[in-house]
Amino acid sequence: MSLFTPLNLGALELPNRMVMAPLTRMRSGVDGIPGALNIEHYRQRATLGLIVSEGVYPDKAGQGFPGQPGLVTTEQIAGWAKVADAVHASGGRIVAQVMHAGRVSHPEITGGLQIVAPSAIAIQGESHTYKGKLPYPVPRALTIEELPGIVDGFVQASRNAVAAGLDGVEIHSANGYLLHEFLSPAANQRDDIYGGSAENRARLVIEVVTAVAAAIGADRVGIRISPQHNIQDALETDDADVLATYGALVDGLAPLGLAYLSVLNRDPAGELVRTLRTRFGGPLLVNTGFSAVTTREEAIALLDDGLGDGVVVGRAVIANPDLVRRWLENLPVNEPNPATFYGPDAVGYTDYPAYAH
């Protein structure tokens, strides 16, 4: 097995094992409609085995960033259809990452809609809004009666993704957003069947993924998790609880036959990730996190060591639209510029050059 050999993920047939990470880029305008910039950005990266889109909100209350695209309105769906057409015309595959931001947002982003979460616990820090940085508000705790609506939002956005011609979806249950908030005992202090025990905290995520799989086919559904990433106050500091929580989660997902499990964790060789992989039983995509840029040598070693079936790459893909060729031929690479990761225009988005020779 090599980084450059084919890989099947459910219904998805990948020509190589390099996966573009879901990357927040904030370039879809106030209305969240993918436009010409987005089309070109994703088209340029079509040689990757799989593109996972930036997080796409399933309803307006779930929007987490200015300029974030949605999969809700007719115009947003039409925009994604153009993205899918461009990627497919260039020989690529793309899935939409469906993401509800939960408490990682602000009413200035959601158009005045109240911010919701498992429990009424605010994040420490500030949200980047259309009016500048503002403190995160205390969210309203979702009632148990509202949770089926959360599930339905993920299902409808996933149906919209398939209707737009995208190849499937990745359910975002990582990095401190809504589904991860339910998993984290620091963010979820509910006393009903969605809080307390590890099994209860995993319940909503399992319900969401099960419903999405039933709606569009499990072989077109992946899920992303980030156990012990400890970001955005979704803290998971008790090793035994982490294993119990994520063990319950993958045990609930394993019978579905999902396309893949994507794990962001600093130690993919550690016991936790190995255990989750065994219990999940399907393809595993590994991503070592935000601490350092993934290098060619690291990506190759992850697969050579048998730690995953594919490697999820972020910043190197931002700076190198032709990263597959560069890594295959061991060519020099462009260095990413963090100052242009987020912004409204082409600078740092579609203007990184392909290798010239």
Contact at 8 Å (CB) between 212 and 171? yes
Dihedral (Cα; 53, 130, 181, 116), 10-degree rounding = -120
- What are the distances in angstroms from CA 89 to CA 46, 49, 317? 9, 15, 20
Contact at 8 Å (CB) between 199 and 208? no
Helix, strand, coil percentages, rounded to 5, for the chain: 35, 15, 45
- CA-based nearest residue to 99, from 131, 55, 130: 55
Q: Residue holding tokens 């989660």? A: 249
CB burial of residue 112 (10 Å; 0-12, 13-18, 19+): exposed
Q: Which residues pair with 317 in a beta bridge?
A: none
- 177 carries an active-site annotation: yes
Residue 97 burial (CB count, 10 A): 23
Between β-strands 18-20 and 50-56, what pairing exists: parallel, antiparallel or unpaired?
Answer: parallel
Chain-centre distance for alpha carbon 287: 11
Residue from 42, 136, 177, 349 carrying the catalytic annotation: 177
- CA-based nearest residue to 285, from 304, 306, 309, 303: 309
**Active centre residues (catalytic):** 177
